[in-house]
Amino acid sequence: MLTIKQITDDTEAVLRGLEKKHFKNAKETIDEVIAFNDKRRSAQNQLDNNLAEVNSLSRTIGQFMKEGKKEEAEAARAQVTELKEVNKELDAAMTEAATELQNLLYTIPNIPYESVPEGTNAEDNVVEKMGGMETELPKDALPHWELTKKYDLIDFDLGVKITGAGFPVYKGKGAQLQRALINFFLEEARKSGYLEIMPPTVVNAASGYGTGQLPDKEGQMYHCEVDDLYLIPTAEVPVTNIYRDVILDEKQLPIKNCAYTQCFRREAGSYGKDVRGLNRLHEFSKVELVRIDKPENSQQSHQEMLDHVEGLLQKLELPYRILRLCGGDMSFTAALCFDFEVYSEAQQRWLEVSSVSNFDTYQANRLKCRYRSGEKKTELCHTLNGSALALPRIVAALLENNQTPEGIRIPKALVPYCGFDIID
């Protein structure tokens, strides 16, 4: 959430940022924010002045009573009663303006950094880097949804029977491959200094608002209406909310957490060939990295996360590319985001497997996540997160890119976690 200071101190810069993110009605919305803030402040100032006057009159009443001036004392009491009634109205007006202001701020996206390119959609993203190993497949190479059937690794039809489309059932070496990847990602994160967290996969609304999934992604989250709880779309939500309403000591930073969870996304409106097989699921496994740092160190933290994810793809021997997302393709909450994509030779297309984002103070302001500096002042932290990695499309690329006449080869780094080096 943008801060009021940010909006009022540099309104034009905020409007330029919202324009880069293609936020509709930016000028009207910001004007409304400023108006609500002025109304809240005016009511607060009046209330403060009235409270000071009530205190002064209360002292005067005592003095009048000592001096036997009952009429003057009664007149002062009448003034106090009248002021208290006015104060109730002012307090209600202030609360209403503050609530309207907060609800409006929740609808405004984060401001992108200057380094974010202009653009409206994925076509305008900038390729920063390409790497990994080129692959040569047999002429009769199959897409992963055919390979999983051939080697009895994943049953999509059984998932439809049990739950519905987008909820596959992993079997045999398919299940072992999933578990191997989870353990590999977690162990690599541990080696890089991340503390593993095992959070709940259901969160309350306050947690959704804290990281920005609510109200922006409300329609994309599974909602347990009876209990007003939400299935998490990513471990970012519960892990980052550990630090909601927390004041950290400067010495605790940076905080580095990782978590493996199941993730749930409704993916409403997703149809067609691009969602076949593992390309787009309603439930999937993911290892997430979350970092909290001081503002002056968040750029370095972001780069370290990018290096970590790139290292995973290199160890998995997959061809990959890194994209700097344009303003129109970034998430609601991100100030800067890089996507990692792996190339699927069998599908002849790039598959997104990770987004690594810096949120600046946007999430921290929602969360009230602060740290106390050496000067004993409290400041908002910067929050960052990234997938390391999401499994479905990694599995798809691994199966497709490593198919041989003898079977599907397992990358060397993964063999100790699988217990086998080929699926045949």
Query: Known binder of ligand: residue 404?
Result: no
Query: Known binder of ligand: residue 190?
Result: no
Residue with tokens 């800067």: 336
Instruction: List the beta strands (DSSP E) in 134-210.
Output: 154-155, 169-170, 195-197, 202-204
Query: Known binder of ligand: residue 344?
Result: no
| Rounded CA separation 6/154 (Å) | 50
Query: Known binder of ligand: residue 352?
Result: yes
* Cβ neighbours around 296 below 10 Å, total: 8
Cβ partners under 8 Å of residue 404, min gap 6? 138
Asked if residues 133 and 319 have their Cβ atoms less than 8 Å apart, the reply is yes
Q: Which residue type, as a one-letter code, is found at position 206? A: A
Residue with tokens 């002045």: 49
Query: Known binder of ligand: residue 331?
Result: no
Token pair, residue 419, equals 């217990």
| Rounded CA separation 213/221 (Å) | 8
| Rounded CA separation 151/144 (Å) | 10
Q: For the chain, how far is it from start to end, CA to CA, in angstroms?
A: 51
| Rounded CA separation 279/178 (Å) | 15
Query: Known binder of ligand: residue 234?
Result: yes
Is 77 strand, coil or helix? helix
Each as own residue / partner, the long-range contacts of residues 220-227 (CB below 8 Å, 24 or more positions apart, any chain) are 220/265, 220/266, 220/267, 220/268, 221/264, 221/265, 221/266, 222/264, 222/266
Query: Known binder of ligand: residue 179?
Result: no
Cβ partners under 8 Å of residue 91, min gap 6? 43, 47
Query: Known binder of ligand: residue 40?
Result: no
Binding positions for ATP: 265-267, 352-355
Binding positions: 234, 265-267, 288, 352-355, 385
Binding positions for L-serine: 234, 265, 288, 385
